[in-house]
Amino acid sequence: MAMSSDKVKSLLHEVESFKIETKEQLENFRLQFLSKKGSIQELFGRIKDIEPAMRKEYGAVVNDLKNKAEEKFIALKEKFEYTPAESTGIDYSLPGEPMQSGAMHPISIARNRIIEIFSAIGFVVSDGPEIEDDWHNFSALNFPEEHPARDMQDTFFVSPTDEGDTKGPMALRTHTSSVQVRIMENNQPPIRTISPGRVYRNEAISARAHCFFHQVEGLYIDTDVSFADLKQTLLYFAKEMFSSDTKIRLRPSYFPFTEPSAEMDISCSICKGKGCNVCKYTGWVEILGCGMVDPAVLDNCKIDSKKYSGYAFGMGIERIAMLNHGINDLRLFSENDLRFLRQFGGV
Ligand code: DAH
């Protein structure tokens, strides 16, 4: 032990007097005293040669030496921006850079919520093509030949292709009601479906109009479906989508494919009906069109209108998203401005 403690003492002296004025000297210090093959580690290795009764004391003395050497090393480490020679230069103790994650688009948020609400009462999701023929977008839905929607000013027509068996001129669909036709042509009642998707209209782009936007179509066909069923379903939807105190009102309207037809307003979700600039101080905001499917449309789609009846509705997804988030300009949805999009989540 005596011999060993002399060794410790002399090493302590060496540690204390070691001159460190450069990065290289610091590294030499580390190699000489603190590395795995350094002299302090060697002293620890000698513990097995010490009498068992003295080992504890010996261990404490060597530990003390090691602490002193480490303190000296750490104190100078920052000064020389030290990185050990064998290191990769990466400081694993630094906090990591956060990973960027995307956010759901407000239209997707609204669409998913609409799907969730209708799925809960048995509606299934369906879809159809965005490039549609005249039959599915207009004729089967009872649009007369001279209807203004069939005009180039309102509809984007596209050049015909020779693919598939299409009926009439091709256009970008102007509404998701075209999916109704496809569903009825291919299924017999009971039918309970919603069809979300993108639609196109030849409009000048402004805060309130765009050349493309999104709709959700709803369709319910069965025996004995009544207007009361439609009204109750839409009331359920409005309460789920906005809040349980939301009121609805149905105003008589006209669509070629429903009879009778209505437009539905909800009590303004922003001012709770008191009046604000979103509801133009009326307390009501229009959110959808609806009605009982015209028997002629059922027959066009090979569904027996004497046996079955049904309702349909169509709403704009942008309108719902605007009400939910207080968005006042349609263009924001498609400009991909990250300052807008980041408000919906993500980092
Ligand atoms: N297709 C209509 C539109 O784009 C919306 C609509 C109204 C859909 C009444 C319907 C409906 O299914 O019954 O303005």
Q: How far apart are CA 185 and CA 188, in angstroms?
A: 8
Could you identify the atom of ligand 1 that is nearest to the CA of residue 199? Answer: 4
* Nearest atom in ligand 1 to 215's CA: 4
CA angle 161/166/167 to nearest 5° reads: 125
**Mutate which of 143, 177, 231 for ligand 1 pocket (most atoms within 8 A of beta carbon):** 177
Which atom of ligand 1 approaches the CA of 174 most closely? 4
- Using only C-alpha atoms, the chain has a radius of gyration, in whole angstroms, of 38
Alpha helices by DSSP H, listed for the chain, are 2-17, 23-29, 39-45, 55-77, 106-119, 134-137, 177-186, 227-241, 295-300, 317-325, 338-341
Tell me how far the alpha carbon of residue 325 lies from the centroid of ligand 1, in angstroms: 24
> Distance, CA 101 to ligand 1 centroid (Å)?
37
- The structure tokens listed for 328 are 């006042």
Residue pair 194/115 in contact (Cβ under 8 Å)? The answer is yes
Residues 6+ apart with CB under 8 A from 85: 27
pLDDT at 85: 56
3-state secondary structure of 34: helix
pLDDT of residue 186: 97
Residue by residue, DSSP assigns 160-222 as --SSS---S-EEE-SSTHHHHHHHHHH-PSPEEEEEEEEEE------SS--SEEEEEEEEEEE
Ordered DSSP codes for 275-310: --TTTTTSSEEEEEEEEEEPHHHHHHTT--TTT-EE
Distance (Å, whole) CA 59 – CA 272: 77
Q: Which atom of ligand 1 is nearest to the CA of 175?
A: 4
Residues with CB under 6 Å of ligand 1 are 175, 177, 217, 255, 258, 289-291, 312-314
Whole-number Å distance, alpha carbon 164 to ligand 1 midpoint, is: 27
The identity of residue 160, as a single letter, is P
Q: What is the pLDDT of residue 301?
A: 98
User: Ligand 1, atom 3: nearest CA belongs to which residue?
Assistant: 175
What pLDDT, on a 0 to 100 scale, did the predictor assign at position 82? 61
Q: Does domain 106-344 have CATH number 3.30.930.10?
A: yes
pLDDT along the chain (347 residues), means of 10: 74 92 89 93 90 90 93 84 66 83 94 98 97 96 90 86 74 97 98 98 94 98 98 98 96 97 95 88 96 98 98 98 94 95 85
- Which DSSP category does 329 fall into? -
What is the CA(197)–ligand 1 centre distance, in A?
Answer: 13
Q: How far apart, in whole angstroms, are the C-alpha atoms of residue 325 and residue 344?
A: 9
* pLDDT for the residue numbered 278: 86
Which protein residue has the closest C-alpha to ligand 1 atom 2? Answer: 314
User: What distance in angstroms lies between residue 12's CA and the mean position of ligand 1's atoms?
Assistant: 89
User: Ligand 1 pocket check: which of 143, 175, 191, 195 to mutate, most ligand atoms within 8 Å of Cβ?
Assistant: 175
Give the closest residue (by CA) to ligand 1 atom 4: 175
Q: How far is the CA of 192 from the centre of ligand 1 (A)?
A: 16
Å from CA of 165 to ligand 1 middle: 26
Domain boundaries, the chain: 2-84, 106-344
β-strand partners of 310: 221
| 255, 286, 315, best to mutate for ligand 1 pocket (most atoms within 8 Å of CB) | 255
